[in-house]
Amino acid sequence: MTVNGWLLIAVYAALLIAMAKPMGAWLFALYDGRALPGRVVERGFYRVAGIDPDAEMSWRQYAIHVLIFSFAGVLLTYALLRVQGMLPLNPLGMKAVDPHLAMNTAISFITNTNWQSYSGESTMSNLTQMAALTVHNFLSAATGIAVAFAVVRGFARREASGLGNFWADLTRVTLYLLLPVSIVYALVLVAGGVPQTFDGSVVATTLEGAKQTLVLGPVASQEAIKMFGTNGGGFFNANSAHPFENPSAWTNLLQMLSIFAIGAGMTSLFGRAVGDRRQGWAIFAAMFVLFIAGAGLTYWAESSGNPNLHALGLAGGNMEGKEVRFGIAASSLFAAITTDASCGAVNAMHDSFTALGGMVPLFNIQLGEIIFGGVGSGLYGFLIYCILSVFVAGLMVGRSPEYVGKKIEGREVKLAVLAIAVLPLLILGLTGIAAISPDGLAGRANQGPHGFSEILYAFTSAVGNNGSAFAGLTASTPFYDGLLAVGMWFGRFFVIIPVLAIAGSLAAKRQVPAGPGSFPTTGPLWVGLLIGVILIVGGLTFLPSLALGPIADHLAMVSGTLF
């Protein structure tokens, strides 16, 4: 570990704190919807689609519209992938994508997972990258933020039946946040070296006289929203480790900041919306502590390096699967951030991390990606833990469970437990299936406990809608494409539906003024309780699977056992 490395983490943390409030103000303007400028395009969209943006939706209507919109997106994306060979903007002559891979990819991008069973530079045409994949980088992000808006309204409104209008939320988030930021951001990335062209490739003659085909394309336009919308699906196979996606140390810092930007802003939006900013900062603080702990642990593990290589005379930390321009600090920090959020972009190969360094990203996803989290999904996932925590506090000290002025009752707690249980059920269930079936075992690139980690990571990433991978696993088979798609779909919507149901039932309630019997949901005691509940619920459920994978792998690594 170096001073420079810690300094990078400190600079990042400071910028993150500074970012939360302005992002929150921007998000609040969209959430509120009253003070938006120049709305010609927005109104035009509503007119063509026959939408009344002021019509309030119940939680059921909101959920149904989210589901139908997402399902329609899956169908259209699938169709585009299947016929890309017949469409223009295909300079490298890519053929139709296989049905199982097309289905997996469509679900992957619509659920904001952006798991990539394919390798971008050898599978997707430029038109597909733009009109199928870039689009859903925007729309899946906007959907997540819209759902979070609806959930926040559930906490903020009193005796109301509606949670807002999905189409208005979706359109405003896209038009006034995601699109303008992406335009500026993408241009900055181009200035830093990220290509943006409709040409397919250039053939270079290297200094030694060999031919090298350099694949180009509209990379920057996808890169910007890939990071800002916590999507994570890269233009190239190597994702943000590819020098064309992430050319330098400063583009890397920018990418890391853009992953957390909206997630940090959402905590501030929540505080504003419920009329008590400290509520937002309390959530921010709990997330921040968990983030720094994970980043520090990964950095320590990666700096310690691989004893199997030290024995051969290698000096220093673990550089297998890392780029020189990022080094160990920026690679470890990126890994923690991308899995705290549901981003899943990678600037280093998690598969080649040390056992403990690779366990942190895995565990971050298993906690539910609620450490700043995916855009929108991070906040609504975290609010589930808030409900659970006031319930636990109520049981422990006999206080009546209330949160931001709403009484938490049986229905909300049951739904919260349902939303939390989806993750372990799907992750462990699907991992179990893959770990005992020949098709599942065939995909491993590594043997021993690390092979199990590859399988566990794949389903954790899919169900958590993260999209990063222990990328040695060969997942472009019908078996994995199918099971992972199941994980991604249910991992997304089996959380969204109960969360919206909670919001619907909370919105209808009266406000309970905080009394002497209320458990305070700001301050260090509350933050500590939140962290405890998150670690115990997340930790206890997944500990056995971690013991079989990364922990066994670590013991093998330090004892010099090879597989």
Partner 1 sequence: MGNDLRSAIRPSLVMLVLFTILTGLAYPALLTGIAQLVFPAQANGSLVRNGNTVVGSELIGQTFATPKYFRGRPSAAGKGYDATASSGSNLGPAAKVLVDRVVGDLKTVRAAGLSGPVPADMVTASASGLDPDISPATAYAQVARVATARGMAEGVVKAMVDAAVVAPLAGVLGEPRVNVLMLNRQLDGGGAQTAP
> Which residue lies nearer to partner 1 by CB, 365 or 530?
365
Nearer to partner 1, 192 or 432 (CB): 192
Residue where the block lists tokens 């690139």: 445
* Cβ 422 vs Cβ 494: under 8 Å: yes
Q: How far is the CB of 425 from partner 1 (least distance, A)?
A: 26
| DSSP string of 97-139, one letter each residue | PPHHHHHHHHHHHHTT----SS-HHHH--HHIIIIIIIHHHHH
| Distance of closest approach, residue 557 Cβ to partner 1, in angstroms | 5
Residue 560 — left, alpha, or beta (φ > 0 → left; ψ -120 to 50 → alpha)? left
Beta bridge mates, 203: 213
501, 151 contact by CB (below 8 A)? no
CA dist 527 and 523 (Å) reads 6
Nearest residue (CB) to partner 1, 65 versus 509? 65
Closer residue to partner 1 (CB): 239 or 389: 239
Q: Give the three-state DSSP class for 214.
A: strand
State in angstroms the smallest separation of the CB of 194 from partner 1.
7
Which residue lies nearer to partner 1 by CB, 32 or 42? 42
Residue 205, H or E segment? strand 201-205
User: Alpha-carbon distance 526 to 100, whole Å?
Assistant: 46
Q: How far is the CB of 449 from partner 1 (least distance, A)?
A: 8
CA 77 to CA 106: how far, in whole Å? Answer: 5
The nearer residue to partner 1, 123 or 364, going by C-beta atoms, is: 123
* φ/ψ (deg, to 5) at 204: -105, 150
* Phi, psi values for residue 552, rounded to 5°: -60, -40
- Minimum distance from CB of 303 to partner 1 (Å)? 11
How far apart are CB 491 and partner 1 at their closest, in Å? 22
What is the rounded distance in angstroms from the CA atom of residue 46 to the CA atom of residue 166?
A: 12
Residue with Cβ nearer partner 1 (212 or 398) = 212
Please give the single-letter amino acid code of residue 542.
F
Whichever of 170 and 423 has its CB closer to partner 1, that residue is 170
Name 434's Cβ contacts closer than 8 Å, sequence gap at least 6.
440, 441, 443, 455, 458, 459, 479, 480, 483
Q: CB of 370: closest distance to partner 1 in angstroms? A: 27
Q: Which residue number, 66 or 534, has a Cβ lying nearer to partner 1?
A: 66
H or E, element range at 337: helix 327-340
How many residues belong to the chain?
563
Q: How far is the CB of 35 from partner 1 (least distance, A)?
A: 23
Task: Find the shortest distance in angstroms from Cβ 407 to partner 1.
Answer: 28
CB of 326 to partner 1, least distance (A): 7
**Residue 8 corresponds to which amino acid?**
L
What is the closest distance, in whole angstroms, from the C-beta atom of residue 171 to partner 1 in the complex?
Answer: 7
For residue 352, how many C-alpha atoms fall within 13 Å in the half-sphere facing its CB? Answer: 15
Q: Which amino acid is at 536?
A: I
- Nearest alpha-carbon partner for 358 in 283, 444, 297: 297
Find the shortest distance in angstroms from Cβ 459 to partner 1. Answer: 17
Q: Are 180 and 412 in contact (CB under 8 A)?
A: no
CA-wise closest residue to 264 among 31, 497, 25, 33: 25
Give the nearest distance from C-beta 161 to partner 1 in angstroms: 14
CB 361 within 8 A of CB 258: no
Q: Least separation, in Å, of the C-beta of 539 and partner 1?
A: 23
Taken in order 164, 166, 168, 174, the sign of the CA dihedral is: positive
Which is nearer to partner 1, 122 or 437 (by Cβ)? 122
Using the minimum distance from each CB to partner 1, give the nearer residue, 234 or 487: 234
Enumerate the β-bridge partners of residue 3.
none
Q: Supply the minimum distance, in Å, between the C-beta of residue 174 and partner 1.
A: 7
Please say which residue, 214 or 536, places its beta carbon nearer to partner 1. Answer: 214
Q: Which residues pair with 215 in a beta bridge?
A: 201
d(CA 134, CA 195): 15
Which residues share a beta bridge with 202?
A: 214
Q: Which is nearer to partner 1, 197 or 518 (CB)?
A: 197
Class of residue 251 by CB neighbours under 10 A (exposed 0-12, middle 13-18, buried 19+): buried
Residue whose CB is less far from partner 1, 225 or 283: 225
Q: What's the rounded Cα separation, in Å, for the pair 368 and 388?
A: 14
* Beta carbon nearer to partner 1, 406 or 444: 444
